[in-house]
């Protein structure tokens, strides 16, 4: 269509960049786990997520890896990004009061041409300062103490962001294409038994370093494709339990819901899908098993504010498992595959076949039905929490 207000001699307007389109079906998620607990290179997850590069727009990518810090397997590991030296100094002073610092260093990175702005990135391996725990937060678990500290930093220290806080795991994320972020963080040099990755196409929220996926809390990590229209309800519900949302994106609530439901309330992962992607009331009424019907009704009533509305496909991991879930009408794609001890979950089958040419089995899980892979090797579970 001609623009009558442009002079005839004016050049044609430039084409609109991909990032200016709102493509709400985009974002790519992928995850690979070795259920025997064996470590494997980050090269596979790198290739898998880069196979779905067209699902992002360069405004966010990231990786989560489990088992990468065996020398500090019993210490809490914080990955922190800073915009200023002042915020770095303020945060480190805070950490010295609340923890016993075992080791700290810059997160290893390399120069990548396409990544311009780079925050200051540090990682800290720490034990809890038991005296401070008793003084500031009496009668709470170590996990709850860590959460309080993480959320206090993220909500009160300007220009500081704790984006990973588990044990023997780490999240690496930022603004950029997945190949650039992977090269920047030297992902191929790490070995882990679970890897997840995300390629972001921000829809309703800004693309910034802290807002890239995966999102983490303790050893939970969440990679999400979709939109959460129930964010306001979910957020207010979580705030009743002390969680603070400070990342300016809807996905943050998913990580906190998993921590609340599984770790604090002890709900089996197999039942989490009945809460987050609860079946419709009409579907529940058609269930013949009376006990199952009553249980699903109770979960819908008790956890009504934890229901996630909107289209979504998520890959969630912790030290013991990897979990995939669609919304109840499967408005976002999710494909699973197996090859011996390996479990693969991704937005596209092509991302799986990029690193596993001939899987033993490929399937698409129905909406609302979780796919769960657990680590079987008891020895490799030695330093892991038991929830999940």
Q: Which residues are catalytic?
A: 27
* Residue closest to 34 by CA, chosen among 378, 373, 353: 373
Cis peptide before 214 (omega within 30 of 0): yes
Instruction: Determine how many CB atoms are found less than 10 A away from the CB of residue 18.
Output: 13
Using CA atoms, how far residue 140 sits from 13, 103, 148, 219, 266, in Å, is 60, 25, 10, 18, 16
Report the alpha-carbon distance of residue 257 to residue 261 in Å, rounded.
Answer: 6
How many C-alpha atoms does 172 have within 13 Å on its Cβ side?
Answer: 30
Residues 217, 254 contacting (CB under 8 angstroms): no
Residues forming beta bridges with residue 104, ordered by sequence position: 124
Sign of the alpha-carbon dihedral angle for 3, 5, 7, 11: negative
Q: What is the dihedral of CA 287, 321, 145, 301, to 10 degrees?
A: -10
Q: What is the dihedral of CA 62, 182, 319, 169, to 10 degrees?
A: -100
Instruction: Determine how many CB atoms are found less than 10 A away from the CB of residue 370.
Output: 19
H or E stretch at 194: strand 194-199
């Amino acid at each position: 269509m001609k623009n009558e207000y442009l002079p005839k001699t004016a050049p044609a307007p430039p084409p609109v960049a991909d990032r200016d389109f709102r493509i709400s079906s985009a974002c790519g998620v992928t995850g690979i786990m070795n259920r025997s607990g064996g470590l494997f290179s980050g090269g596979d997850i790198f290739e898998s997520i880069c196979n779905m590069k067209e699902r992002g727009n360069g405004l966010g990518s990231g990786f989560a890896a489990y088992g990468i810090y065996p020398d500090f397997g019993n210490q809490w590991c914080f990955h922190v990004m800073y915009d200023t030296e002042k915020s770095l100094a303020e945060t480190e002073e805070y950490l010295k009061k609340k923890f016993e610092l075992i080791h700290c260093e810059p997160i290893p990175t390399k120069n990548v041409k396409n990544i311009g702005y780079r925050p200051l990135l540090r990682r800290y391996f720490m034990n809890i300062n038991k005296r401070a725990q008793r003084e500031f937060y009496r009668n709470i678990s170590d996990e709850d103490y860590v959460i309080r500290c993480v959320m206090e930093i993220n909500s009160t220290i300007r220009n500081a962001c704790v984006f990973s806080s588990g044990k023997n795991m780490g999240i690496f994320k930022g603004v950029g294409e997945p190949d650039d972020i992977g090269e920047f963080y030297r992902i191929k040099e790490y070995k882990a038994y679970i890897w997840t990755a995300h390629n972001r196409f921000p829809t309703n929220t800004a693309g910034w370093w802290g807002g890239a996926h995966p999102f983490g809390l303790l050893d939970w990590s969440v990679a999400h494709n979709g939109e959460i229209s129930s964010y306001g309800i979910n957020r207010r519900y979580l705030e009743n339990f002390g969680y603070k949302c400070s990342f300016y994106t809807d996905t943050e609530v998913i990580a906190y819901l998993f921590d609340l439901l599984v770790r604090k309330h002890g709900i089996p992962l197999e039942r989490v899908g009945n809460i987050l992607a609860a079946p419709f009331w009409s579907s529940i009424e058609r269930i013949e098993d009376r006990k199952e019907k009553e249980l699903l009704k109770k979960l819908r009533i008790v956890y009504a504010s934890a229901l996630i509305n909107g289209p979504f496909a998520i890959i969630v991991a912790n030290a013991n498992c990897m979990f995939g879930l669609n919304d109840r009408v499967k408005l976002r794609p999710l494909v699973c595959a197996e090859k011996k001890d390996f479990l693969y979950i991704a937005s596209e089958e092509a991302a799986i076949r990029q690193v596993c040419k001939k899987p033993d089995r490929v399937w698409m899980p129905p909406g609302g039905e979780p796919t769960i892979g657990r680590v079987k090797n008891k020895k490799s579970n030695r330093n892991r929490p038991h929830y999940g």
